[in-house]
Amino acid sequence: MKSLLIGEYREGRLLDTTYELIGFAGQLGAESAMLLVGSDSQLPAFNGTIYLADAGVCGEYNPDLHKQLILEVVGKLNPDCIVFMHTSYGWDLAPRVAAALKCAQISEIVAITDNGFEVGCCNAKMRRTVRSATGRTVLTIQAGAFPVAGREGTPCVEQLTTAVTSTLEFVGYEPAEAKDVDLAKADVIVTAGRGVGKKENVPVIQALAKALGGELGASRPVVDAGWVDHSHQVGTTGQTVSPKLYIACGVSGAIQHLAGMKKSDFIVAINKDKDAPIGEVADLLVVADVMQFVPALTAKLQ
């Protein structure tokens, strides 16, 4: 089994998730090579060949060109699988490669099993086992699902160049908005999820946060709906937190949310859906209606 791992750079820096790709290939028992559009000043520790294209020339987001580079290396190596992280880079690029190679893609893998790859579905509440019906397969793996490889080894580097005309022009990055709430410093975070029902109910969650001397957090749907400001958002596209106590009120537990809070010391989830994925990380799951339970808890604490 041979794999080609597609590492990731952003603004000149190698992303740490690259080591998860190496960890995944280790579990798969695959002999691997890596392709990076990056720079030789920041190479990962890796025992194998790295095919390196210069991001200064190729651009960090230039999917037509990155696809072409991958196809060239696939032609040389003939790998069984091509592996991406399931990130904004990976889920954008992987199907382009699968389309060009006319092969299966299996998205957001969380585990390797004897019968195939395990992936999440139905908002992470359920799992599917999927196997490829083509000789070659494109894989994307969920961030945090596989162990990070030890930072060992010295790669053998082969430089790549290519030129492709593209109908897409990358303009640049926009920085994240300034945070006026620093959730990372809070000992207690009480988060409002979609289960609070409506904007008018958010003060009820805020009151519990206040009673515990903590801050208000918010899940993505609540921020998208305009109930709570983005500066309170917990998760991959918001803030990553690890307070002493995290109380998730009506949060279903999308993977992007879990990634932002699962390292909290003690997690309480209040949800009327006993099967909600938040239950996977909660130390304590209270099966109740948020709008009944939270005011009662706040009253008792005051």
Partner 1 sequence: MKLLVCIKQVPDMESRFKPNGSGTWFDEADLAWRMNEYDEYAVEEAVRLREQLGESAELTVLSIGPDRVVEAIKKALAMGADRAVHIQDPAVADKDPWQIASIIVAHAREQQYDLIFTGMQSQDRGSAQVGVLVAEQLGLSCATTLVGFSYENGIVTAKRELEGGIKGVARLRLPALVTCQLGLNVPRYPTLPNIMKAKKKEIAALPVDGLLAEPAVAVTTSFHPPAKKGGGVVLEGEVGVLVDKVIGILKEKTAILR
User: Is residue 286 a contact point for partner 1 (CB under 8 A)?
Assistant: yes
Q: Measured from the CB atom, is 88 or 161 closer to partner 1?
A: 88
Question: At its nearest, how many Å lie between partner 1 and the CB of residue 92?
Answer: 4
Per the DSSP assignment, residues forming a β-bridge with 159 are: 52
Sheet holding 116-121, edge to edge: 116-121, 104-113, 137-141, 81-85, 2-6, 31-38, 49-54, 156-159
User: Is residue 96 a contact point for partner 1 (CB under 8 A)?
Assistant: yes
CB 87 within 8 A of CB 8: yes
User: Is residue 71 a contact point for partner 1 (CB under 8 A)?
Assistant: no
Q: How far is CA 54 from the centre of its chain?
A: 25
User: Is residue 252 a contact point for partner 1 (CB under 8 A)?
Assistant: yes
Q: Which of 92, 158, 182, 229 binds partner 1 (CB under 8 A)?
A: 92
Q: What is d(CA 4, CA 25) in angstroms, rounded to the nearest whole number? A: 9
Q: What is d(CA 259, CA 241) in angstroms, rounded to the nearest whole number? A: 9
Count interface residues toward partner 1 (CB under 8 A): 89
Using CB under 8 A, which of the segments 23-31, 70-78, 149-157, 262-270 binds partner 1? Answer: 262-270
User: Is residue 279 a contact point for partner 1 (CB under 8 A)?
Assistant: yes
Per the DSSP assignment, residues forming a β-bridge with 248 are: 191, 269
Question: What are the angstrom distances between the C-alpha of 281 and each of 141, 187, 251, 261?
Answer: 20, 18, 12, 9
Q: Which of 167, 180, 185, 200 binds partner 1 (CB under 8 A)?
A: 167
Q: What is d(CA 258, CA 194) in angstroms, rounded to the nearest whole number? A: 15
Question: At its nearest, how many Å lie between partner 1 and the CB of residue 180?
Answer: 13
Interface characters, 112-151, with partner 1 (x: CB under 8 A):
---xx--xxxxxxxxxxxxxxxx-----------------
Residues between 47 and 66 with contacts to partner 1, criterion CB under 8 A: 61, 63
Q: Measured from the CB atom, is 122 or 156 closer to partner 1?
A: 122
Question: What are the angstrom distances between the C-alpha of 77 and each of 23, 181, 250?
Answer: 20, 49, 48
Q: What is d(CA 48, CA 34) in angstroms, rounded to the nearest whole number? A: 8
Q: Measured from the CB atom, is 155 or 260 closer to partner 1?
A: 260
Q: What is d(CA 256, CA 234) in angstroms, rounded to the nearest whole number? A: 9
Q: What is d(CA 65, CA 56) in angstroms, rounded to the nearest whole number? A: 13
Using CB under 8 A, which of the segments 18-26, 27-35, 44-52, 238-246 binds partner 1? Answer: 238-246
Residues between 168 and 227 with contacts to partner 1, criterion CB under 8 A: 168-177, 187-188, 212-213, 220-221, 223-224, 226
Q: Measured from the CB atom, is 45 or 301 closer to partner 1?
A: 301
User: Is residue 10 a contact point for partner 1 (CB under 8 A)?
Assistant: yes
β-pairing, 245-249 vs 266-271, is parallel
Using CB under 8 A, which of the segments 34-42, 154-162, 202-210, 269-277 binds partner 1? Answer: 269-277
User: Is residue 98 a contact point for partner 1 (CB under 8 A)?
Assistant: yes
Q: Is 196 helix (H, G, I), strand (E, B) or coil?
A: helix
User: Is residue 103 a contact point for partner 1 (CB under 8 A)?
Assistant: yes
